[in-house]
Amino acid sequence: MENKSVFWLTGMLIIFLCLNVTVFSQNEMRIVGKGEYLPSELIDKTIRDANGEVCAGLVIVSDLDGLPYTAYNEIVKTNRNPGRDLLFIQREERVVTVYKTGF
């Protein structure tokens, strides 16, 4: 009976340590400050979604070519440049998925 309890406690300790390392190794992400409009911004204010709202911009920097993107709502427009794609998405969009065959 004593071996079972020692084995159980050892197992629980190992699980606790593994979870502890995983949880604490992730950096916390925060929004610091408040967003503001700068005249030198990259986002074109004339590009609007189907509701007439100004689109948000997302810059994807990668050395991979031909990356297709999908979003839950929609991607309004994509400006493709070598190594740098600019996606215009709805302001409420929270998920953009990037695909690449072979990866």
Q: Is residue 31 part of a domain?
A: no
Q: Is residue 72 part of a domain?
A: yes
pLDDT tens by residue, 22-51: 556 556 666 677 767 667 666 778 889 888
What's the domain range around 82? 40-98
Number of domains in the chain: 1
pTM score, two decimals? 0.58
Q: Is residue 22 part of a domain?
A: no
Q: Would you state the structure tokens that stand for residue 78, as one six-digit string?
A: 């994509």
Q: Is residue 3 part of a domain?
A: no
Q: Is residue 26 part of a domain?
A: no
Q: Is residue 34 part of a domain?
A: no
Mean per-residue pLDDT, 58-67: 86
Q: What is the DSSP string of the chain?
A: -HHHHHHHHHHHHHHHHHHHHHHHTSPPP---S-----TT-SS-TT-B-TTSPBPEEEEEE-S-S---EEESS-EEEEEEETTEEEEEE-TT---EEE--TT-
